[in-house]
Structure 1
Amino acid sequence: MGKENQPKQEFKFGLYQGIVYEAQDLNGKADPFVQVRAIKTDGTYSKVLFKSTVKKATLNPAWNEYDKIKVKDYVNDLLVELYDEDLVKNDFIGRQIISMGRVRSGIFDEVVKFEDDKNNVKGTVRIKIERN
């Protein structure tokens, strides 16, 4: 069976309140959003599994939203990224990798720290993932 035909598990992905530590825009705020992709076994990324709404002009976003995501059985990790929406190009704020092993063994419900490319924490978001 090819990997594209592998079974998928369905999860409920919940995104709650967050904090962006540094302003990204001239108004002293940010327009944050979160997106989630699976990390494939070859190190590449899947298409976007979840993308939040954009919270305008805030450093304390409260999404309080959730959706169902389908993750193939062979996927070991999720890449969760925090961005600031801009007209020309979205600004990267930070990322974190969530182990699917932890998710599959029970409910994942944590305040996740988002780190930039130099491993500096740039924000936090409460994320909850559970089997659907």
Structure 2
Amino acid sequence: MDFLDAITLTGLTVFGRHGVFEHERENGQDFIVDLRLHLSVRQAAASDDVADTVHYGELAERVAAVVAGEPVNLLETLATRIADMVLEDERIHGVEVTVHKPHAPIPLTFADVSVTVQRVSHVQREWSEG
């Protein structure tokens, strides 16, 4: 994605009940989300008004609601749901979402498991294709 401006939010930790196994859904665990939003911040920089940009505190709350919400089997599904929700804001041209599952049920020593999805808004796709 060739956008000059970005807002990045990393390390958003939210308890959720996602996973393929029943014990993952029963017990739940922390998931960590990293976001990189691609958008123009020119108007916000000129006005110095939060109304002219993406309020990352409010965005974090919406992302947390997705993670804490309806359980899914796969990190791929969760990351895509987050990306789709983020792109509902037409100011955002693209997003990269990484969902980490540091306590995945893997019977070996490991540091982290994560899935990253990159999406562009349908408005941006239409503009670049037209």
Q: TM-score range by the shorter chain?
A: 0.3 to 0.5
Higher RCO (C-alpha 8 Å, min separation 6): 1
Give the structure with the larger helix fraction: 2
Give the structure with the larger strand fraction: 1
**TM-score (structure 1 length as normaliser):** 0.32
